[in-house]
Amino acid sequence: MLAIDLRGKRAFVAGVADDGGFGFAIAKALVEAGATVCVGTWPPAMGIFEKLLERGKMADSLQLAGGGTLAFERIYPLDAAFDTLEDAPAEIRDNKRYRERGDFSIKGLTDRLAADFGSPCLDVVVHSLANGPEVKSPLLDTSRRGYLDAISVSAYSNIALVRSLAPLMRPGGSFQSLTYMASERVIPGYGGGMSSAKAALESDTRTLAFEAGRRYGVRVNTISAGPYASRAASAIGLIQRMIRYTRQHSPLTREFEATDVGHAAAFLASPLADAITGTVLYVDNGYHAMGMGVEEPASPAPTE
């Protein structure tokens, strides 16, 4: 029987702070396939996340399909806007929610992983990070600062993670990220430079697949997921409209679930995908294939 088997593998998933998003679904799927998983959490959200876990508030979400309970091997503080601790401004470094976490930069994460597990120690890295401080603003009204912030966290941080963590990867290692259709189609309301950031992320995926593939022997892919009402996505403001529209116009009208992305990520992380790299994998009920919307069914004639 052909199966996804990640036993003996260690994954790191960047961008998990609750049980409602793709990052959590991916982490859970990787564990269900046999991997151990460490996660990176934004420092201001880390305390709440830890308390939810400690107090059993996420108990139902942590239940694994085959029995047992999801447990993270480590939870690391991570603000992927900063490559080193020195890059963070003083007001960030001195903030209580940051200061008590130690080095929360990408270099700090890399050093902690190597100290905790040695080197090499990783097999899978998942970039589930995005931030557009002006996402509700049309691109025309987005400030330079807002645009660059969106690119920094949502796209450049993936480059930084590959550069920093590829040396910790064991043979057959792979990187994944999460993108969205707004990279190549206009999605009104998805602003603030986030569409540009996703386009950059996809372009970088192809280049990183070549460069990191030749230098480190790792694979680099990205998953273009359908719209999903995670807590983070709800900040866009029109997420429910996006979901309804996509479902109406997709080849498959089934409900789109975060687990769909988790399963795809587990496949990409497995030896079954050893020849797949530099690829955008669409997990969206086929919406990306449509070039024209489906007309609304005609209303039935009124009856007397």
Rounded to whole angstroms, how far apart are CA atoms 258 and 226?
9
Phi, psi of 69, deg, nearest 5: -130, 135
| DSSP letter string, 69-84 | B---SEEEE--TT-SS
Parallel, antiparallel, or unpaired for β 122-127 and 74-77?
Answer: unpaired
Give the three-class secondary structure for 281: strand
Q: Are 197 and 132 contacting, i.e. CB atoms less than 8 angstroms apart?
A: yes
DSSP string, 143-160: -HHHHHHHHIIIIIHHHH
Bridge partners (DSSP) listed for residue 240: none
- Residues marked active site are found at 180, 190
How would you list the strands of the sheet with 169-179, edge to edge?
Answer: 74-77, 36-41, 10-14, 122-127, 169-179, 219-225, 280-283
* 229 touches 247 (CB < 8 A): no
CA–CA dist 145, 158 (Å, integer): 19
Return the bridge partners of 169, or none.
122
Residue 37's φ and ψ, nearest 5 degrees, are: -130, 130
Q: What is the DSSP string of 14-64?
A: E--SSSSSHHHHHHHHHHHTT-EEEEEE-HHHHHHHHHHHHTTTTTTTTB-
